[in-house]
Amino acid sequence: MKKLAYGLKSLIILLLIPITIFSQKEVKDLSLMPMPENIQLNDGKFLLDKDFTIVINKNEKKLFDAAYRSIKLITDRSGLFLNNQFPFVQPDAKGKGVVINISEDVELKLGVDETYELVVNEKQIKIDAPNSFGAMHALSTLAQLLDSDEAGYYFPGVTIKDKPRFVWRGLMIDISRHFEPIEVMKRNIDAMAAVKMNVLHWHLTDDHGFRIESKSFPKLHELGSDGFFYTHEQIKDVVNYAYERGIRVVPEFDLPGHATAWVVGYPELASAPGPYVIERMWGIFNPTIDPTNEEVYKFLETFFIEMTELFPDKYWHLGGDENNGKQWNANPKIQEFMKANNLKDNHALQNYFNVRLDKILSKLNKTMVGWYTDEMPDISKDYIVQAWKGRTTLYETAKKGYRSLISHGFYIDLVQSTEYHYNNDPIPPDSILTDEVKERILGGEATMWAEFVGPETIDSRIWPRTAAIAERLWSSGSINNLNNMFNRLDQVSLQLENYGVTHIKNQDMMLRRIANSYDIETLKNFVNAVKPLYTYSRDRPHIAKSYYPMTRIVDIALPDPRSARLFNTSVDELLSNEKINSDCYEKVKSHLETWKENHKNLLPLIKARPILAEVEQLSEDLSKVSLIGLEALELIKENKKADALWITASAEILKTAAVPKGEAELAILSSINKLLAKVN
């Protein structure tokens, strides 16, 4: 009976498989990211042909342009020769393709209605949204839905009703520590829009560079930037570019600490005499603005007035982090001022400074945003606090009545795993916060600090991991299946290339540079199994200077490399089943065999290119641990245990291999350890 039942079950499975394969896709198979709030599959699909077009009910330039870009994305992927490249505007919108109806044109600001409805059926695609910003989100979703089979390109039938969970879904880009040209900003803005992020927080000043032209105080950029700064025209261009994609730009002028680049040109603003030079090392530095100097406030007011012409958004980030207070402690005039004004410590003095700046900003109709400091400034409750030190600070400030953003857990510069960031729910399901407090948590921001990134590498540090963060901030907390997320992320990451981001394509380019060769296969095999060291473990103060090369293996290797993840997933799957899954087995074996042979093939190149010397041992480690993995794999297949001496020797090798080399480490070591554990 038992055997028969088993046979019957097999038969049923066999019967089901083809049905599953040929039946309509399931929702989880759609490569959408962030996942919409509500999605239902419809029968049929919308087939693309040369008559495809987009019709909009209102003559709204930014929506028209977005629709134009959507048409281009679709033709680029499908190769279709459409009859019309431009959308149409018709008050009574109809047409063979996408029909967009928006209710009204509104200004982009915090809390703008971003909802949309997207319905795809065989005959038409309908987008309804209260405004252009919602409609543009719908177009991003639509682009992700594009699919193909032998019959042609199509959009699957769906009804999507969507809106964001959080109103503030940001990416902070630090262009002070390393400068990023305008086109880097633009392509990342496009990628942000593709995953429905809506705030670019632009960290424009820090100890390493004052990156924006000032006409009021030209020595700021002339002496504080090494010539790497944005002109007013360029800033306007980028801010407008972002606005047209539904992205608010919040500038950050970090004060009173992180201020070296301000005081290179204007040492009189500092709390110690100077002179100052642009900082070249990483860390927290002394130059700090003098809050007791009335000229400082006049200077900043004039400067802020100049800047308001460039940054229309209501929110204005003034930093406020990591003031070490040394200059204040050492300045008798400041100490006297504190006594006279009953300011008990540096926190109180910084509070005084913030209150003064808050007043200036209020006059300019701007609202202050700042990094969390240990004590909150005693300023208006409008103030938005960006929590970066830990999750509790997020809740504390929200409880105190401030609106808050979370960046803790979203520090993408630390090259942590996608999984870690994805699981960083600002308000987890078990949260005991009151609804009122929850409401004050506006969302969060991924932070791309720039100690170790430049124009060639920044995209690969931002993407694709930030797409997972975008989902965390847009989608329901219940969307949290990791495997499904990774499947969708892989697809969306590919599509991000179409917006110009270089997160995939620059890797081979950088390998060709250091190999000085077209033949990078063995080097790539190696790099695919490697990840950069956790940033805080890198030798920041001693090894790193702002101008050191960012072209080494540590820079080329990807955080959370896809290839290593696929291997690790196969190992997990292999070990999770009692019976060997032969597909998994073959995948694991094939990876291990490639890596086992790789070092001896790579060695001649390592010898010829001294830039690779620092990872010679790591390359050898990869081959050694892969041999261990292979031997364990064979034992697992034969359902045997390993002998104790071999276990001891192998464990020793794995231990040595775990030590980072050249600031990089093996990304597949945990899997080898698991294989070893299985046969122990």
Which of the residues are catalytic?
322
Spatial separation of the C-alpha atoms in residues 66 and 194, rounded to whole Å: 11
Query: Hey, what are 193's tokens?
Result: 């829009």
Which among 304, 300, 268, 270 is positioned nearest to 285, based on CA atoms? 270
Kindly state the smallest distance separating residue 119's Cβ from its own copies, in Å.
24
Q: Quote the distance between the C-alpha of residue 57 and its chain's center.
A: 34
Q: Cβ(374)–Cβ(323) under 8 Å? A: no
Label residue 401 left, alpha or beta by phi (over 0 means left) and psi (-120 to 50 means alpha): left
Q: Cβ(140)–Cβ(471) under 8 Å? A: no
Q: Is 67 or 676 the residue whose CB approaches its own copies more closely?
A: 67
Q: Is 16 or 543 the residue whose CB approaches its own copies more closely?
A: 543
Spatial separation of the C-alpha atoms in residues 425 and 410, rounded to whole Å: 10
Q: Cβ(46)–Cβ(159) under 8 Å? A: no
Kindly state the smallest distance separating residue 599's Cβ from its own copies, in Å.
17
Query: Hey, what are 65's tokens?
Result: 């342009």
What separation, in Å, do the N-terminal and C-terminal C-alpha atoms of the chain show? 37
Site residues (vs its own copies, CB under 8 A) = 65, 72, 75-82, 85, 148-153, 181-183, 227, 231, 233, 490-491, 494, 497-498, 502, 504-506, 508-509, 512-514, 516-518, 543, 545, 547-549, 551-552, 562, 607-611
Which residues 6+ apart lie within 8 Å of 107 measured at CB?
Answer: none
Q: Is 38 or 231 the residue whose CB approaches its own copies more closely?
A: 231
Kindly state the smallest distance separating residue 520's Cβ from its own copies, in Å.
11
Q: Is 147 or 382 the residue whose CB approaches its own copies more closely?
A: 147
DSSP letter for each residue of 59-88: --HHHHHHHHHHHHHHHHHH----S-SS-E
Kindly state the smallest distance separating residue 329's Cβ from its own copies, in Å.
33
Spatial separation of the C-alpha atoms in residues 348 and 442, rounded to whole Å: 27
Tell me phi and psi for residue 608, to 5 degrees: -85, -20
Alpha-carbon dihedral sign for residues 281, 286, 291, 293: negative
Kindly state the smallest distance separating residue 572's Cβ from its own copies, in Å.
20
Q: Is 550 or 635 the residue whose CB approaches its own copies more closely?
A: 550
Query: Hey, what are 361's tokens?
Result: 């900003």
Q: Is 237 or 573 the residue whose CB approaches its own copies more closely?
A: 237
Which residues 6+ apart lie within 8 Å of 111 measured at CB?
Answer: 167
Kindly state the smallest distance separating residue 44's Cβ from its own copies, in Å.
18
Q: Is 368 or 510 the residue whose CB approaches its own copies more closely?
A: 510
Q: Cβ(272)–Cβ(217) under 8 Å? A: no
Q: Cβ(378)–Cβ(355) under 8 Å? A: yes
Spatial separation of the C-alpha atoms in residues 260 and 279, rounded to whole Å: 7
User: Angle formed by the axes of helices 644-657 and 669-678, to 10°?
Assistant: 170
Please confirm whether the linkage preceding 377 is cis (ω < 30° from 0): no
Q: Is 333 or 600 the residue whose CB approaches its own copies more closely?
A: 600
Spatial separation of the C-alpha atoms in residues 576 and 283, rounded to whole Å: 44
Kindly state the smallest distance separating residue 68's Cβ from its own copies, in Å.
9
Kindly state the smallest distance separating residue 506's Cβ from its own copies, in Å.
7
Query: Hey, what are 142's tokens?
Result: 């639509």
Instruction: Give the per-residue SS3 of 334-349.
Output: HHHHHHHCCCCCHHHH
Spatial separation of the C-alpha atoms in residues 162 and 147, rounded to whole Å: 21
Spatial separation of the C-alpha atoms in residues 277 and 258, rounded to whole Å: 13
Q: Is 319 or 662 the residue whose CB approaches its own copies more closely?
A: 662
Alpha-carbon dihedral sign for residues 376, 377, 381, 384: negative
Kindly state the smallest distance separating residue 417's Cβ from its own copies, in Å.
19
Q: Is 75 or 569 the residue whose CB approaches its own copies more closely?
A: 75
Q: Is 162 or 456 the residue whose CB approaches its own copies more closely?
A: 456
Kindly state the smallest distance separating residue 144's Cβ from its own copies, in Å.
11
Which residues 6+ apart lie within 8 Å of 527 measured at CB?
Answer: 507, 511, 553, 556, 557, 561
β-pair type (53-56, 88-89): parallel
- Bridge-partner residues for 443, per DSSP? 168, 405
Kindly state the smallest distance separating residue 251's Cβ from its own copies, in Å.
20
Kindly state the smallest distance separating residue 385's Cβ from its own copies, in Å.
37
Which among 368, 143, 369, 112 is positioned nearest to 246, based on CA atoms? 112
Q: What angle do CA 302, 308, 309 make, to 5 degrees?
A: 105
Q: What angle do CA 212, 215, 217 make, to 5 degrees?
A: 85
Query: Hey, what are 19's tokens?
Result: 């049905």
Tell me phi and psi for residue 571, to 5 degrees: -65, -45
Kindly state the smallest distance separating residue 222's Cβ from its own copies, in Å.
13
Q: Is 356 or 562 the residue whose CB approaches its own copies more closely?
A: 562
Q: Is 38 or 148 the residue whose CB approaches its own copies more closely?
A: 148
Q: Cβ(124)–Cβ(118) under 8 Å? A: no
Query: Hey, what are 101's tokens?
Result: 């109806």
